[in-house]
Structure 1
Amino acid sequence: MTRDLAPYLGTLRQILAGMGPQAPFQISLKNILKALAENHGFQRPHLMIFDPETQHLKLSLTHGQVKNAQTTYEPGQGITGQVFTTGQPLVVARMKEHPAFLNKAFGRSETELASLAFLCVPVLAPNRDQEHGPEIIGTLSVDTPCDDLEILEAQCRFLEVVAGMIATLAAYLQEEMARQRHLMAQGLYSNSQLEHGQIAANIVAASKAMRLVLSQTAQVGPSRATVLLRGESGTGKELLAEAIHMASPRRDRAFIKLNCAALPSELVESELFGYQKGAFTGAVQTKKGLFELAHQGTLFLDEIGELSTGAQAKVLRAIQEQEIQRLGSEHSVSVDVRLVCATHQPLEELVEKSKFREDLYYRINVFPIFIPPLRERREDVLPLAEHFLRQYAGEYAKEIKRISTPAIDLLTQYHWPGNVRELKNCIERAVLICDEEVIRTYHMPPSLQTAESSSTENNLSFCEAVAKFEQEILVDALKKARGNMLQAARDLRVSYRIVNYKVKKYGLDAKKFSTPQRTKPTYRT
């Protein structure tokens, strides 16, 4: 290991890059285990996390085939249990020769047991009680080909560094295990697939606020409780309503939606409840309403605060009695509908002004979910922008790879009054007019490029502003060229002498933009 540190340093940089807010923590941890396997030839890297309730270590995440996914260890049991109990790493030079090696999870063959070593290190998280040392929350282990003890110990020290870096993510995993157990105890599905984006595939949630929203979605989704989504226009209420439907047992049934503000009040009732033939002029045939079409499925009523008083009374009856009457009919129709409502209006104020029925308000406010505006969850801006970039680059067949650093600054500084919808439109416009591989500031709408809109008043002189812009372009070129000033000069279509002069002028270090080549280390047999 000491002869070639580059692969190990490269992996550590890769781990740091993958620990940002762009991906859920479980995905980040899986990517780290994958990097250990692909970059260093480690086999079966896996995390065992301690469950305080059962007092056992549980196989929680792994990269590779598992024979028994339900494997657990008691503290002190086997190599894993010993490492957890003592807090000290252990190197098993040859699995077959160590009496404490149990081979419970992966079912290694006799050949593998005779040719593989086992490295196990503790995962230490900071203890909330500062008077005590770090808390041991689990172990990180790998298989590796048998080698000299010196090399195995060096690899073990590298794993200790990795375990220290991922301790916070592992603590999140421990909390997630406790949350899932709590949901199951309440009779709710754990819906851990929300963490992996399987249900809410189009919902980007990097911020704590949005992760809380998804957690609430996981809690209420499997039930039939009525949900009220609160939030400004453009925050993604319809998308979340679809996620709630997909998290429910009704996912294979109809998901029907109606924007109550999109139709005149006299037409909303006929849309919701349907009508009989001859009920009014133009009713030439009987028509089913949306409540009937959503039978055994989910009905999403967006902007429910816009419903007329008459429609509110009928919606209340449909919720209470689970039956509706078509316009012009005297007969009731039974309906089994799960209702999800949304509004950007303060319903409490509408109730006080007698513009919204108080009894309906309490009926739909069973499980409210508040979706924060984009300006209050800025951690989501860049992941959302990159998501929309991939989406529209594919849709419009554009070879656009990334967003430039100055353009990212514009996106993160803007206050987004139109929320996610405005960001989506902004990226779509940028993709349409971009004719290169990078989205730059001049591809952004003019509203993003003013000091007033982004709340960043410019106190620089003209020369200082030009120099700052010049420096940003140079940094962007050096990042792309990985610190190669000659390549940066080619990309900028200027001479190497000019780039060299500007780098010195602005005190830039081109070397810090270079990335070492990752190569797999060789093991002696």
Structure 2
Amino acid sequence: MPTTTRSLFETLNQVIADLDPFQPLQPTLERVLIKTAELAEYKRITLAIFDPKTDTLRFSISHGHTRTPSSTYAPGEGVTGHVLTTGEPIVVRVMAEEPMFLNRAGGRSQEEMASLSFISVPVITSGEQGEIIGVLSADLPISHRDNLDLHRDFLQALGRIIARQTAYLQECMLQNETHLPNPARETSQAENLAKNRIVASSKAMSQVMGQIMQVADSRATVLLRGESGTGKELLAEAIHNMSSRRDAPFVKLNCAALPSELIESELFGYERGAFTGAVSSKKGRFELAHQGTLFLDEIGELSAEAQAKLLRAIQEGEIQRLGSEKSTTIDVRIVCATHQPLEALIEENRFREDLYYRINVFPIFIPSLRERRQDVLPLAEHFLSIFSEEYGKNIKRISTPAIDLLTQYHWPGNVRELRNCVERATLLCMDEAIRTYHLPPTLQTAESSATDTELSFGEAVARFEQELLVEALKKTQGNMLEAARELRSSYRVVNYKIKKYGINPKKFTPHK
């Protein structure tokens, strides 16, 4: 029975609904291909991703084959390689009659090939200079040409929809040399993100979560480092929740929120009569966190006396309440956080070097929000969902111009500032969408980069291009493919510009 435009449109709608940006990439695309094959009645469907390092197409995800094919195609080789080279779709009405069809993926008998058609379309990134990053192909029963052309158009539309996820998979594939991401590991990380209320889709935060998963179930002291507002407390709680201590207390103390004379009593507790006003004994945070986790935020604010006692508690596993001569054994896992340069404080004799080495066993650096702009929109939508429910609003989305303002702003206050911004916008909004005028004036008046008016237009453009390239290479540590992704350009364009301006990417690669 011929396929109708309406049935394929409905298939596309269902497939789009499965593309969850907060779920692992590979399992998400596998589900999309499975659903597409089932609804469109394809015998097989495969996604092959281009590897710029080897200049080959590698089958990455498939459905209908007994296993994902291990063979590769060079550009121009066979139907699939030809689609990669030309960027044009190819429709083969009868597989067995097409000399270009090499059947390299295997699993098809000559008899079956005589009864199947084959459609192959390019997967191209969006933008003016779209880059061909893969090829999407499907086996389907032979039918008349109009019906096959309809499926070709459908697969082209699907290719455009999955291009972004395919680009991220390409990056992962290159990072892991010859392997795609481990689905089990990605699923585990996604589950941990969800359980701990952490919203992130950037590679930078994926690396942070990977470190947290590595250290969570150990006894190692963790030092979370990053600017104020990056979510250090939430990540400390995630470390606790992923550890074997998850059922024991998670106790917090902000060392900057209390006067120095009160910090010791809060940490170690006190006995009745230890000081004026101590009318009864009180447990400190160490005792309250026994067999659990103690999170010490802004550790750099501790007084010299408190630092000495904290060092003793960590070294000996014992504390003394103020006014007591008795030692109490404690079993506490320590997680610390700071936005200060502790190394500079050591130079100024404001922080003990021996304590620094005790708490810096496993440092984790949390990137600022401006260093992980991919997280801005998911975070904004997450906060919008929370505040819409809290304030009884029916706000369904953030408008495109408002999204542009959010993603272009430099966020000096990081996630905390973004949260406050979305809460304000939610309160002001009486519409179904957040608009630019609901956002704070700081976002709407943020200064853009100045240009040197003494330069000619061509010189100014060239200088701006060089600055963009250098910044992208710094950020990606000299990785040209990742730099191209950062700049939303193609590898070929970035390679050409780098050679044009005489930029050496190796300068930005860290020395081993």
TM-score of Structure 1 vs Structure 2, range by shorter chain: 0.5 to 0.7
Determine the C-alpha separation between the residues in 1 that align with 2:47 and 2:290. Answer: 45
- Residues 407 and 48 of structure 1: is their aligned pair in 2 closer, same or farther, counting only changes over 3 Å? closer
Q: How does 1:107-506 map to 2 (within 5 A)?
A: 168=167, 192-198=187-193, 200-449=195-444, 451=445, 453-455=446-448
Q: Give the aligned partner of residue 32 of structure 2.
A: 32
Give the drift of 1:213: 1.2
| Mean Cα deviation higher: 80-89 or 324-333 | 80-89
Report the equivalent of 1:520: none
The 1:314/1:417 distance shift into structure 2, 3 A limit, reads same
Q: CA deviation at 1:344?
A: 0.7
Report deviation, 1:160: 10
* Counterpart Cα distance in 2 of 1:20 and 1:179: 26
CA drift of 1:455 comes to 3.0
Whichever residue aligns with residue 367 of structure 1, its letter is: F
C-alpha spacing 1:9/1:235, structure 2 compared with 1 (3 Å): same
Question: CA distance change for structure 1 residues 230 and 16 in 2, over 3 Å: closer, same or farther?
Answer: same
Superposed counterparts of 1:5-154, under 5 Å: 5=5, 8=8, 24-26=24-26, 28-29=28-29, 32-33=32-33, 35-36=35-36, 39-40=39-40, 80-81=66-67, 83-85=69-71
* Alpha-carbon shift at residue 196 of structure 1 (Å): 3.6
CA RMSD of aligned residues (A): 4.8
Amino acid in structure 2 at the alignment position of 1:4: T
Contact 1:194 1:200 in 2 (8 A): no
Distance in 2, Cα, partners of 1:162 & 1:292: 57
Aligned to 2:482: none
The alignment partner of 1:341 has SS state of strand
Work out whether residues 189 and 209 of structure 2, in 8 Å CA contact, stay in contact via their aligned partners in 1: yes
CA distance in 2: counterparts of 1:335 and 1:179, whole angstroms = 47
How many residue pairs get matched? 397
User: TM-score with structure 1 length normalisation?
Assistant: 0.62
Q: Deviations over 1:377-425 (max 9, x none)?
A: 2221111111111111111121101111221222122221111101101
Give the aligned partner of residue 519 of structure 1: none
In 1, the alpha carbon distance for the partners of 2:329 and 2:323 equals: 17
Counterpart amino acid of 1:222? D
User: 1:6-30, CA deviations, whole angstroms, 9 ceiling, x for partnerless residues?
Assistant: 6547766886898796654246425
Q: Structure 1 pair 82/177, CA: closer, same or farther in 2 (3 Å)?
A: closer
Q: Distance in 2 between matches of 1:312 and 1:156?
A: 68
Summarize the Cα distance change of 1:119–1:253 in structure 2 as closer, same or farther, 3 Å threshold. farther
Q: How much has 1:38 moved relative to structure 2? A: 7.3
What is the CA deviation profile of residues 253-284 of structure 1, one whole-angstrom value per residue up to 9, with x for unaligned ones? 11111100001111111111111122122222
**Secondary structure, counterpart of 1:249 in structure 2:** coil
Q: Which moved more, 1:307-316 or 1:439-448?
A: 439-448
Paired residues of 2:15 and 2:36 also in contact (CA < 8 A)? no
In structure 1, C-alpha distance between the alignment counterparts of 2:119 and 2:369, rounded to whole Å: 40
Q: Distance in 1 between matches of 2:351 and 2:320?
A: 21
Deviation at 1:351, TM superposition (A): 0.4
CA distance in 1, matches of 2:17, 2:447: 27
Q: CA deviation at 1:120?
A: 11
1:214 Cα deviation from its structure 2 partner? 1.3
Q: Find the residue that maps to 1:340 and give its secondary structure.
A: strand
Aligned with 2:188: secondary structure?
helix
SS at match of 1:424: helix
- State the distance in 2 between where 1:339 and 1:141 align: 54
2:395 maps to amino acid: I
Higher relative contact order (CA 8 A, sep 6+): 1
Write the distance in 1 (CA, Å) between the matches of 2:289 and 2:260: 21
Q: Residue 66 of structure 2: SS of its match in structure 1?
A: helix
1:355 partner SS: coil
In structure 2, distance between residues paired with 1:277 and 1:44: 76
- Write the distance in 1 (CA, Å) between the matches of 2:66 and 2:273: 76
**Contact conserved, 2:406 with 2:443, CA < 8 A, in 1?**
yes
- CA distance, structure 1, for counterparts of residue 450 and residue 374 of structure 2: 22
Q: How far apart, in 1, do the equivalents of 2:335 and 2:187 lie?
A: 22
Q: Which moved more, 1:403-412 or 1:421-430?
A: 403-412
Q: Is this contact kept in 2: 1:292–1:335, CA < 8 A? A: yes
C-alpha distance in 1 between matches for 2:253 and 2:418: 24
Q: Secondary structure at the match of 2:403?
A: helix
